[in-house]
Amino acid sequence: MTTLAPPTSFDSQWIDGGWQPSTATRSIDVVNPATEETLATVPAGTEEDAHRAARAAAAAFPRWAATSVAERLAFLERFVAALQSGADQLAETITAEVGAPTMMARKAQVGLAIGMAASYLEIGARFAYQERVGNSLVLREPAGVVACITPWNMPLLLTMQKIVPALVAGCTVVLKPSEITPVHAYQLAELIAGCDLPPGVFNLVVGEGPVVGAELARHESVDMVSLTGSVRAGREVTRLGAQTVKRVHLELGGKNAGIVLDDADLELAVRATIDQVCFNTGQTCLQWSRMLVPRQRQDEVLTLAADAANRYQVGDPRDPATDLGPLASAAGAERVRGYVESGLSQGANLVAGGPGRPAGIDRGFYVRPTVFGGVTPEMTIAREEIFGPVLSVMPYDDESEAVRIANDTPYGLHGAVWSADQARAVRVSGALRAGVVDVNGGSFNLVAPFGGYKQSGVGRECGVAGLDGFLETKSIQLPEDAAELTGPRLRDVA
């Protein structure tokens, strides 16, 4: 394993256009998940840090909201260029703090993030910020101060999904990244600092969710909270935000199903599913963790899936041969192993992987790509989000049963349908209670609305919907010559 340089120590927060010392009295260790060594130390941000950032954002809001769209997009052009220039350093940091293999960090973690940011250059320029509806002028105006609370699994991409449309909309931002992977956020703040953004428009506070996140969610100066995280965190943010009736956008978890219909290309469907389940070492909310297959073809599927899973190389994320790096934390690795053990204890058929460490690896938060067959809907591995490279293959007897099993979850984020008949696949997709469905491996679209049904969240990100989510609607009623004024003392007004 590669050993990193001595850890970097951070003691400040980016507030009101500069680095300000945190009021924290303790620090948080950021751990390299591949080596279990300390990568950096960051301040355990305080309520006072969050308060100062929220007040700075509120003070900056009137000026930023009054800027033209052209001025905001000029900032975004500079920011995209800065991201492109800093891409290699960002990717290196994400490999170190997330454990993402080097190629995946550069192309997906950072590459998609840059693509997401750049997409708003066109979206922001073409968006209808005002329109005439009858005798009303309908305006779309910035929502205000936005607290953006982001997770550790795809940290830069999920940050771009929030802060870029918020800033283009004319909102000011306080970013609270995960304390597990905050180092890239310090680099992000430095990049933004070089893009001529007015002080207070963007602020960064690093700390723990129950302290910094909670303070931002209830703070009177914050108008909106946008969270990507767990259902538990979503409930808490909603509860705290309700104290001041905030707008709350939630992108939460998923227990996603891929349905393989009886006419599908089985080998393609299995290979693509295993690849998707192992993407980012299984740490994505979009993961197809359940694969629903015709009962008579389950054995064939399991043979293909086991062969595919066993081909994945687990190891040092800096090794070009590595397919799967470690999970991002010790707690995550322990959780995934616990789910694998539960599958075994509840009678699922293990055909690949298992709860033990990968062979030859005795350090780091590594798990094995795992495939279970014979999984039934009541098993824990079929019901709960695992957030690791674990696939449950579940048999069904007919199409309607497949749809019923797929929908039998409190989540509704993502799904997949595989069929030789695309029209049939689209029809089945329409029956799934999910916000996003891929047909025959359809690729992720950066400008299509993204979000879920049920407990997978509230609202949509990406594309036009992502920008619209940070805007308020105002109707200005204009007088019309033929309109009749109403009211007891206005009837006779000429």
CB 183, CB 162: distance < 8 Å: no
Chain-centre distance for alpha carbon 110: 13
- How far is it, in rounded angstroms, from Cα 323 to Cα 314? 6
Query: How many CA atoms are closer than 13 Å to the CA of 90, on its beta-carbon side?
Result: 27
pTM of the model: 0.94
At residue 83, the 3 state secondary structure works out as helix
Alpha-carbon span 144 to 128, nearest angstrom: 19
Domains of the chain: 8-252+456-475 (3.40.605.10), 257-439 (3.40.309.10)
Specify whether the CB–CB gap between 30 and 41 falls below 8 A: yes
Can you give the C-alpha Rg of the chain in angstroms? 24
Among 268, 278, 264, which Cα is nearest to 309's? 278
141 DSSP β-pair partners: 472
35: Cα separation from own chain's centroid? 25
Q: Quick one: CA torsion of 141, 146, 151, 156, rounded to 10 degrees?
A: 60
For residue 90, give the DSSP letter. H
Q: What is the pLDDT of residues 146-202, one digit of tens each?
A: 999 999 999 999 999 999 999 999 999 999 999 999 999 999 999 999 999 999 999
Sheet of strand 12-15: strand arrangement: 18-21, 12-15, 202-204, 172-176, 145-149, 224-228, 247-251, 457-458
| Tokens of residue 183, six digits | 């180092």
User: Count of CB atoms within 10 A of residue 60's CB?
Assistant: 22
Helices (H), 416-481: 422-431, 463-468
In angstroms, the CA 203 to CA 180 distance is 19
Q: What share of the chain is helix, strand, coil (3-state, %, to 5)?
A: 40, 20, 40
Closest CA to 370 of 360, 359, 355: 355
**The predicted structure's pLDDT at residue 2:** 35
Q: What's 181's DSSP letter?
A: S
Output the tens digit of pLDDT for each of the chain's 494 residues: 333 445 689 999 999 999 999 999 999 999 999 999 999 999 999 999 999 999 999 999 999 999 999 999 999 999 999 999 999 999 999 999 999 999 999 999 999 999 999 999 999 999 999 999 999 999 999 999 999 999 999 999 999 999 999 999 999 999 999 999 999 999 999 999 999 999 999 999 999 999 999 999 999 999 999 999 999 999 999 999 999 999 999 999 999 999 999 999 999 999 999 999 999 999 999 999 999 999 999 999 999 999 999 999 999 999 999 999 999 999 999 999 999 999 999 999 999 999 999 999 999 999 999 999 999 999 999 999 999 999 999 999 999 999 999 999 999 999 999 999 999 999 999 999 999 999 999 999 999 999 999 999 999 999 999 999 999 999 999 998 766 666 776 656 55
User: Cα 297 to the chain's mean position, in Å?
Assistant: 34
pLDDT at 1: 31
The residue type found at 190 is E
Which are the catalytic amino acids? Answer: 251, 285
Angle CA(67)–CA(150)–CA(391) in degrees, nearest 5?
140
Element (H, E) at 300: helix 298-310
* DSSP track, 380-414: HHHHS---SSEEEEEEESSHHHHHHHHH-SSEESE
Rounded-to-10 torsion of CA 272, 278, 279, 285 = 100
How many DSSP H helices and E strands does the chain contain? Answer: 16, 23
